[in-house]
Amino acid sequence: MNKKMGVYRFLSSALLLIALSACSTIPTAVDQELEDPGFKDVFVHDPSIIKDEETYYILGSHMQFAKTNDLIHWEQLSESVPTNHLIPNIYDELAEAFEFAKTDTLWAGDMIQLDNGKYYIYYSACEGSSPLSVLGVAVSDHVEGPYKNEGIFLKSGITKEDGSAFDATKEPNVIDPHVFYDKEGKLWMVYGSYSGGIFILEMDEETGFPKKGQGYGTKLLGGNHSRIEGPYIQYNEETDYYYLFLSYGGLAADGGYQIRVARSKNPEGPYMDNTGKTMLDAKGKEGTLFDDDSIAPYGTKLIGNHSWETDLALTNAGYVSPGHNSTYFEKETNQYFIIFHTRFPNLGEQHSVRVHQMFFNEEGWPLITPLRYANEKLTKYTDKQVIGDYKLIFHGRDITEEIKVPTEITINRNGKIEGEYAGKWDWSNDKYVNITLNGITYNGLFISQWDEYQEAQTMAFSGLSENGDTIFMIRNVE
């Protein structure tokens, strides 16, 4: 992807340092100096992450597979089902799955190492225009395989396990698995896409299959073919919440794909968004298909279509249909990361993986940093470091193919905000900041990041309101 996106023109590093020292109204440099990391990108749709020793791996739809040691420079390992090396002779090994789902490819899968030391791939196959799907598991002694099929454990689209008729408005499409341990050491699988919604099953660690007698498990949300998929659950020990990440909308460039979140004290729910709505009510109206208006009020929206330039015809600077994420907590550094695929303005269906740091605001809700991860570290900042002119994105709560464009504001040292939106700002403590615009307060934080669009280090802000609205801000370098 061309790094000289948009129509930016920037000062060189030397000129920038001169300008910073000469003009007291421009913030001083932060303690950590960032440089262009030379991103190396890969395409893995629906990336699910696993770490093995010092290497991170992501597995996605169509057996797309990649690895990295730093979450910045990626190496593509496979691009399709026929070229994959994880499951040798895959069309023979998974013949039953392909035959039942009437397909020759695999959709979003998941990788996990269980406490027995073995590695498991949870694969899904789907016909596509209907919930004719299967979920199965393959196992290996090594993260890069080879994996041996253990078999199918769940089907959808014809009959339920008890032999009764399948109702696609109420029953799940058995794809998009995420398998995880809870804080008590129990193993779970959350799954589902469109159709009857998102469900969760308790798993048997000995077999890698669901425990018997659960049917499709416990329903968490969705129904009536509402466009909700890609569930992923992350536990936060500090807040003691399980966070359920979801993708709303359609995955194509015109689908309005976006990432939302809800949380619960228990893996099985109930899950609530930050406005207090229960996610069990997030479903389409009866008799509807893809009724986005019914589900838009539910779930805290973290990121959607946006551009960092107002002239959309001249830029690729931003994201289109970002979604189907996984997350990772790095215990050694106490860092959370969110990994997702995204498309871009003016690049059609071309997609690539993006990794962003993720923090939690004072109310314990996730915040995605506005810019991709470039080894930045969160530190304390002064007023002088954060004041300046910013581009501001309102993500809103709608599900739309519209690309949100920035407005201009200025953060002043006197606590006032001026520009297209007037307001105020103040430090909630030495880490969090409250930014109030048109009477609505967004609680979040500043972080100094590498901006690949401006080709420079700058300040960024991510914040969330009590209304469930997320804002991103990036300071202009020139």
The residues carrying an active-site annotation are 46, 229
Cβ partners under 8 Å of residue 288, min gap 6:
224, 225, 294
Return the DSSP state at 37.
-
Residue pair 321/350 in contact (Cβ under 8 Å)? The answer is: no
Q: Which residue in the block uniquely carries the two structure tokens 């090994």?
A: 93
H or E element that contains 91: helix 90-93
Residue 225: count of CB within 10 angstroms of its CB: 21
H or E element that contains 386: helix 383-386
Q: List the structure tokens of 146.
A: 């080879």
Distance CA(360)–CA(378), nearest Å, equals 12
Q: List the structure tokens of 156.
A: 């959808």
Strand ranges inside 203-332, DSSP E: 218-221, 228-236, 241-248, 258-264, 300-303, 306-307, 318-330
* CA distances (Å), origin 297, targets 199, 291, 293: 20, 12, 8
* CA distances (Å), origin 276, targets 41, 273, 281, 361: 38, 6, 12, 16
Q: List the structure tokens of 263.
A: 């949380």
Is the C-alpha dihedral spanning 18, 21, 26, 29 positive or negative? Answer: positive
Rg (CA), the chain: 22
Distance CA(98)–CA(92), nearest Å, equals 9
3-state secondary structure 438-458: CCEEEEEEEEEEEECCCCEEE
Distance CA(455)–CA(450), nearest Å, equals 7
Q: At 224, is the secondary structure helix, strand, or coil?
A: coil
Distance CA(282)–CA(272), nearest Å, equals 10
Q: At 455, is the secondary structure helix, strand, or coil?
A: coil
Bridge partners, residue 120, by sequence = 112, 139
CA 281-322-144 angle, to 5 degrees, is: 105
One-letter amino acid at 261 equals: V
Distance CA(109)–CA(133), nearest Å, equals 13
Residue pair 191/172 in contact (Cβ under 8 Å)? The answer is: yes
Return the DSSP state at 92.
H
